[in-house]
C-alpha cells in the first residue's frame, strides 16, 4: 500500500498539526516497515529534519504566498502530486482536504473549533475557507479524529455518518517523563526565574482556553496561601489584548488585584517544556473546548498533578487521574488547586494515577488505528 501525505505543516513541528504529522509518520514507519510513504511538501520547505527512514519526498508548488498559497497547495498541488505518485491512499492530516483527488481520501479533523466558536468565523475569507474544507471533508472516504467528543461534533456539524469516522487518540512525546536531569531542570528554573512552588498554565491565551476563569479561581488560592505560590502563565502572548479572540488578561489581573502573584514567562522554548511541567507543583488547564487536550497528558506524563475543566475531550484524556471541575466554577477550580497544594498525600495519589494514565496513550496505538482506516478505504474501493 502506498500512502501520500499532505506535508504542509512539516516545518511547523510545534503546532498541533505539525506534531501530529511527524509523530504519525514515524509511528506508521515503525508499525509497518513495508508500507510505502510519500510526503508531498510545498516547495518553500527546504529542510526536512527528523524525517523517518524510507519516506519519499515530493516538493510541489504553492504558486502564491500566504493563505492563498496554502489553499492552492491543498486544492491543486497536492492532488496533482497524488496522481503523479499513483498513491493508493491520500491523507491530509489536518482539516484542509481537496474537493477532488484521484485516490481515496482520508482526512484528519483534529477539532471543530472553527465551526463551534464564533470568534473563529469572523470575516468572509474564514467563512469561505471553512465552507470549502467542510464540503471536502464530507467527500472524504474516511475521517480520522482524536477524541470521541470531536467525533460527535464532526458527525453533527458536518453531517458525516459516525461509521465513517475513526478516533485515534494522540500521545505525549517520550521526552515527557517524571525523572528528568536535575541539572537541566535547575537550569530551566533559573532561565525563567521560577520559584520553588508554583501553579502552571502553559498554552495559548485565546478566549476558549478560559484563562480568565483561572485568574478568578486564583483569588481563592491567594486568600488561603497568600502570594507564596504564584500562578505562572507560560506561552506566546498575542499581538494585541482585548479582542474577541484574546480577552484582556492583563486588565483582568489588575482588576482582581493579582499583580503580585501572577508571573508571565513569555514563549517557552520547546526543549524546556518537559522540565517546566516537572517543576510545576500543579498544572491548571481551564479550557472549555479541546480536540484532545495534549497539555494535561504531557503534564501527567511528567509526574505533575492536573486540575482541569471536565468538559469536551478532557475527561477522555485524564480519566480519574485529574481533578476535574466545571469550566464556569472559579470557586471549585480554586478549591481543587488548594487541595493539591495543601494535601501532599492527595497530590501524590493523583501524580501516580496520572503517570499510569499517560502510559496508556502511545503513538503506536495512533498508528494502528490509522493503518486500519487506510486498509478499510482501500478494500472498499476494490469492492466498489
Alpha-carbon distance of 28 to 374, in angstroms, equals 11
Q: Do 179 and 203 form a contact (C-beta atoms < 8 A)?
A: no
Alpha-carbon distance of 145 to 94, in angstroms, equals 9
C-alpha cell at 106: 482520508
Give the DSSP per-residue string, 44-78. Answer: T----TTPPTTEEEEEE---SSHHHHHHHIIIIIH
Residue numbers of the chain with a pLDDT score lower than 50: none
The confidence score (pLDDT) of residue 155 equals: 96
Three-state DSSP class for 276?
helix
Question: Which residues in the chain are classed under CATH 3.40.50.2000?
Answer: 2-171+363-383, 182-359
pLDDT tens, 136-162? 899 999 999 999 999 999 999 999 999
The confidence score (pLDDT) of residue 38 equals: 98
Q: Does domain 2-171+363-383 have CATH number 3.90.380.10?
A: no
Handedness of CA 129, 130, 136, 141 (dihedral sign): positive
Alpha-carbon distance of 143 to 290, in angstroms, equals 18
The confidence score (pLDDT) of residue 32 equals: 96
Q: Does domain 182-359 have CATH number 3.40.50.450?
A: no
Three-state DSSP class for 42?
strand
How far, CA to CA in Å, does 223 sit from each of 22, 158, 217, 229?
A: 45, 46, 10, 11
Read off the pTM. 0.93
pLDDT tens, 169-205? 999 999 999 998 889 899 999 999 999 999 999 999 9
The confidence score (pLDDT) of residue 384 equals: 61
Amino acid at each position: 500500500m502506498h500512502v501520500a501525505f499532505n506535508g504542509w505543516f512539516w516545518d511547523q513541528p510545534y503546532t498541533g498539526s505539525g506534531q501530529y504529522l511527524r509523530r504519525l509518520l514515524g509511528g506508521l514507519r515503525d508499525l509497518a516497515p513495508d508500507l510505502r510513504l510519500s510526503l508531498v511538501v510545498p516547495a518553500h520547505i527546504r529542510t526536512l529534519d527528523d524525517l523517518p527512514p524510507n519516506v519519499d519526498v515530493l516538493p510541489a508548488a504553492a504558486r502564491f504566498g500566504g493563505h492563498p498559497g496554502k489553499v492552492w497547495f491543498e486544492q491543486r498541488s497536492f492532488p496533482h502530486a497524488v496522481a503523479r505518485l499513483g498513491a493508493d491512499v491520500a491523507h491530509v492530516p489536518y482539516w484542509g482536504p481537496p474537493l477532488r483527488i484521484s485516490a481515496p481520501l482520508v482526512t484528519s479533523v483534529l477539532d471543530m473549533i472553527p465551526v463551534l466558536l464564533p470568534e473563529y468565523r469572523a470575516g468572509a475569507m474564514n467563512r469561505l475557507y471553512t465552507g470549502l474544507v467542510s464540503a471536502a471533508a464530507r467527500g472524504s472516504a474516511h475521517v480520522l479524529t482524536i477524541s470521541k467528543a470531536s467525533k460527535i461534533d464532526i458527525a453533527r456539524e458536518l453531517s458525516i455518518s459516525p461509521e465513517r469516522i475513526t478516533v485515534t487518540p494522540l500521545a505525549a512525546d517520550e521526552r515527557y517523563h517524571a525523572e528528568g536531569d536535575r541539572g537541566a531542570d535547575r537550569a530551566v528554573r533559573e532561565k525563567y526565574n521560577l520559584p520553588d512552588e508554583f501553579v502552571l498554565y502553559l498554552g495559548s491565551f485565546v478566549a476558549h482556553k478560559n484563562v480568565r476563569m483561572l485568574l478568578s479561581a486564583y483569588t481563592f488560592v491567594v486568600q488561603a496561601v497568600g502570594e507564596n505560590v504564584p500562578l505562572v502563565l507560560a506561552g506566546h502572548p498575542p499581538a494585541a489584548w482585548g479582542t474577541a479572540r484574546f480577552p484582556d488578561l492583563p486588565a483582568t489581573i489588575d482588576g482582581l488585584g493579582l499583580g503580585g502573584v501572577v508571573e508571565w514567562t513569555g514563549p517557552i522554548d520547546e526543549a524546556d517544556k518537559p522540565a517546566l511541567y516537572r517543576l510545576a507543583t500543579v498544572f491548571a488547564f481551564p479550557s472549555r473546548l479541546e480536540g484532545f487536550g495534549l497539555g494535561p497528558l504531557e503534564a501527567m506524563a511528567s509526574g505533575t498533578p492536573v486540575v482541569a475543566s471536565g468538559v469536551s475531550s478532557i475527561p477522555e484524556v485524564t480519566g480519574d487521574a485529574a481533578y476535574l471541575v466545571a469550566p464556569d466554577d472559579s470557586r471549585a477550580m480554586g478549591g481543587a488547586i488548594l487541595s493539591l497544594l495543601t494535601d501532599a498525600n492527595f497530590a501524590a495519589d493523583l501524580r501516580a494515577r496520572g503517570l499510569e494514565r499517560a502510559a496508556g496513550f502511545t503513538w503506536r496505538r495512533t498508528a494502528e488505528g490509522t493503518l486500519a482506516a487506510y486498509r478499510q478505504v482501500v478494500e472498499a474501493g476494490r469492492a466498489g
